[in-house]
């Protein structure tokens, strides 16, 4: 693809007009970031079908600004562990440049409040604090990609199984937690935006079906969400940016669950823009059901919808000696083998189904999370030191029921879109071929 270089003022967001459709544009009256990231490198999408190492069927009617997203939260800890990423020619290259070159236009980055123990040892899973989000977000912005900040409002993983309160908020009642969440959101966004990161979307919570910050009553969860929403709106106004607010759910195959949860948001008059859904085809039901859920939200609640997380395996091999979440043998989806082409087909078909349902885009989850050492050696010292495994032993006190029982390396390396040595797979190019397709060379 043709590479284009553009010098944009400050954040690279607005210099009278937007310089490229992939970058956001703040108003001239908004607060300007104190960090100038310099040249912004962007890439054109193809304007016709191409030949490639994979076959991709074109998706009718998909727009150029459809979100072709990638969660790349683990990159910093992996690079600290010695991982190197390469381009398609085998030369070492910033992984964010490779993602942008491959058609990715949005990067999602999780944020934990304080993922360290009292001695400063990281909990693992990327050690994703605010400073890490800034470093990753700046790199994404420099390659013309928008950024989605995914606040978990926890010091470690937040999902339907666990929504632990940050250590600093322990003992607080819901009113105090709401105030703390508001302050944390505002302070964090101020640091991230001031650092020049092109934040265009913010998740206020991660997979919050069963609560957040140890709050389980719907009224308490709504109160926390309202504090997060208020903080985002205020920072959006201050910086003159239209930052979209996302509420994120999963368990979409459970009949009526998401509809009920979104109905609660409507009844409570929560101020937000987008419902994000996790959809892993090997866990979360059929494509048809996913389309049905997306359409229901759009039609019943007049809200935008995106697939906030999806993925698939390209191999059944284990890259680091830590068992994989999706083995890639008898647990795969019929018709989608654990191959590079099978992965590309699955990604393309998720995008097609989401587009047909009227979603605004799809984020692939952690397509950059590769091994830090071969499966034939003990990599535990690296995982512990740099937080590049899913959890370290230091997380045990905070997360005793999971990290306290089993911790270690990456369970996702066979679902990455880079091989075990950091070379991009041909399936990564599916992002740029969605509109016009590709024939296999």
CATH number of the domain enclosing 287: 3.20.20.80
C-alpha 135/C-alpha 35 separation (Å) is 12
Does a structural domain hold residue 197? Answer: yes
Residue 173 backbone dihedrals phi, psi, to 5 degrees: -85, 180
Residue 29 included in any domain: no
Q: Distance between CA atoms of 166 and 162, rounded to whole angstroms? A: 12
In terms of C-beta distances under 8 Å and separation of at least 24 residues, what long-range contacts does 262-268 make, across chains too?
262/297, 262/300, 262/301, 262/303, 263/300, 263/301, 264/218, 264/222, 265/222, 265/225, 265/301, 266/301, 268/219, 268/222, 268/226
Q: Give the whole-angstrom CA distance, residue 97 versus residue 69.
A: 14
* Contact indicator for 196, 36 with CB cutoff of 8 Å: yes
Up-side HSE of residue 74: CA atoms within 13 Å toward CB? 31
Cα-only R_g, the chain = 20
Contacts of 414 by beta carbon, 8 Å cutoff, 6+ apart: 313, 314, 315, 316, 317, 318, 319, 324, 326, 328, 338
At 111, phi and psi to the nearest 5? Answer: -135, 125
* Residues labelled catalytic: 207, 309
Q: Is residue 208 part of a domain?
A: yes
Ranges under pLDDT 50 in the chain: 1-28
Q: Is residue 237 part of a domain?
A: yes
Decide if 311 is inside a domain.
yes
Q: What is the rounded distance in angstroms from the CA atom of residue 155 to the CA atom of residue 126? A: 12
Question: Quick count: other Cβ atoms within 10 Å of Cβ 433?
Answer: 25
User: By CB neighbour count within 10 A (0-12 exposed, 13-18 middle, 19+ buried), where does 92 fall?
Assistant: exposed
Cα-based angle 21, 24, 26 (whole degrees, multiple of 5): 135
Confirm if 136 and 169 have CB atoms less than 8 A apart: no
Question: What's the CA gap between 429 and 172, in Å, rounded?
Answer: 47
Q: Does residue 20 belong to any structural domain of this protein? A: no
CA–CA gap between residue 71 and residue 387 (Å, rounded): 17
59-64 long-range Cβ contacts below 8 angstroms, 24+ apart? 59/348, 59/351, 59/352, 59/355, 59/434, 59/435, 61/355, 62/351, 62/352, 62/355, 62/434, 62/435, 64/21, 64/435
SS3 181: helix
Structural domain span for residue 376: 60-424
Count of CA atoms in the C-beta half-sphere (13 A) of 403: 25
39-58 confidence digits (pLDDT tens) = 999 999 999 999 999 999 99
The pLDDT value recorded for residue 29 is: 73
Q: What is the pLDDT of residue 9?
A: 31
Q: How far apart, in whole angstroms, are the C-alpha atoms of residue 185 and residue 49?
A: 43
Q: Is residue 5 part of a domain?
A: no
How would you classify the pairing of strands 50-52 and 361-364? Answer: unpaired
**C-alpha–C-alpha distance, residues 67 and 179, integer Å:** 32
DSSP state of 32: P
Residues in the chain: 441
Is residue 248 in some structural domain? yes
Based on the structure, what is the number of domains in the chain? 1
Residue 25: per-residue pLDDT: 40
Cα of first residue to Cα of last residue in the chain, in angstroms, is 17
């Amino acid at each position: 693809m043709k590479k284009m270089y553009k010098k944009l003022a400050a954040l690279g967001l607005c210099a009278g007009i937007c310089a490229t459709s992939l970058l956001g544009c703040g108003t001239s009256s908004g607060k300007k970031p104190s960090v100038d990231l310099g040249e912004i490198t962007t890439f054109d999408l193809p304007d016709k079908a191409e030949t490639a190492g994979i076959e991709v069927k074109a998706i009718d009617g998909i727009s150029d600004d459809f979100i072709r997203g990638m969660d790349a939260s683990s990159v910093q800890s992996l690079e600290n562990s010695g991982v190197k990423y390469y381009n398609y020619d085998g030369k070492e290259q910033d992984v964010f440049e490779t993602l942008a070159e491959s058609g990715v236009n949005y990067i999602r980055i999780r944020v934990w409040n304080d993922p360290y123990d009292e001695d400063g040892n990281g909990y693992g899973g990327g050690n994703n604090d605010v400073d890490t989000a800034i470093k990753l977000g700046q790199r994404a912005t420099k390659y013309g990609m928008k950024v989605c900040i995914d606040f978990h409002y926890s010091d470690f993983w937040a999902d339907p199984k666990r929504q632990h309160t940050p250590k600093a908020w322990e003992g607080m009642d819901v009113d105090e937690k709401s105030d703390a969440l508001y302050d944390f959101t505002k302070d964090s966004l101020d640091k991230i935006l001031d650092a020049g990161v092109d934040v265009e979307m913010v998740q206020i919570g991660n997979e919050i079906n069963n609560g957040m910050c140890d709050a389980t009553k719907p009224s308490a969860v709504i109160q926390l969400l309202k504090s997060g929403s208020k903080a985002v709106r205020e920072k959006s106004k201050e910086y003159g940016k239209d930052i979209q607010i996302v509420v994120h759910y999963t368990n979409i195959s459970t009949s009526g669950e998401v509809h009920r949860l979104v109905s609660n948001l409507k009844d409570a008059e929560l101020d937000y823009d987008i419902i994000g859904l996790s959809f892993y085809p090997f866990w979360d039901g059929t494509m048809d059901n996913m389309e049905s859920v997306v359409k229901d939200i759009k039609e019943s609640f007049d809200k935008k919808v995106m697939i906030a997380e999806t993925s698939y395996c390209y191999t059944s091999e284990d890259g680091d000696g830590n068992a994989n979440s999706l083995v890639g043998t008898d647990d795969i989806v019929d018709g989608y083998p654990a191959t590079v082409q099978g992965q590309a087909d699955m990604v393309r078909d998720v995008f097609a189904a989401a587009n047909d349902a009227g979603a605004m885009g799809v984020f692939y989850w952690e397509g950059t999370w590769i091994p830090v050492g071969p499966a034939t050696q003990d990599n535990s010292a690296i995982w512990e030191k740099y937080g590049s495994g899913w959890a370290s032993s230091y997380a045990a006190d905070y997360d005793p029921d999971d990290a306290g029982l089993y911790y270690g390396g990456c369970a996702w390396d066979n679902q990455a879109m880079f091989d075990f040595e950091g070379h991009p797979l041909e399936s990564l190019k599916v992002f740029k071929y969605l509109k016009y397709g590709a024939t296999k060379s």
